[in-house]
Amino acid sequence: MFIYNTKGTCSRQIIFDVDSENKIHNVKFIGGCGGNLQGISKLVEGKNIDEVRATLKGIKCRNNTSCPDQLANAIAAYKERETTRV
């Protein structure tokens, strides 16, 4: 399980798992617009994290970011953490 604290959005946190095939699972947003965020979670379930990141990166709402953009940032943070692990 990876936990990411969002910046600039109504949601406060994003929690997700990544399997051995680099696919994202169990995405949960804490806070924010429940219906929209449940929709995003269902749409990305089982998808490759690189594809999800490329698709969602740069989507803007307020504060020059959005919950989808923050999920892309969370994936980037996850990947950075995994590359620094030995």
pLDDT tens readout for residues 23-61: 999 999 999 999 999 999 999 999 999 999 999 999 999
Q: What is the enclosing helix (H) or strand (E) of 63? A: none
Instruction: Give the integer Cα–Cα distance in Å for 58 and 79.
Output: 18
Q: Mean pLDDT over all residues of the chain?
A: 96
Query: Structure tokens of 37?
Result: 């965020």
What DSSP string runs through 11-60?
EEEEEEEE-TTSBEEEEEEEES-HHHHHHHHHHHTT-BHHHHHHHHTT--
User: Which residue segments constitute the domains of the chain, with CATH numbers given?
Assistant: 2-84 (3.90.1010)
The pTM score is 0.94
Residue 2's beta-bridge partner residues? 16
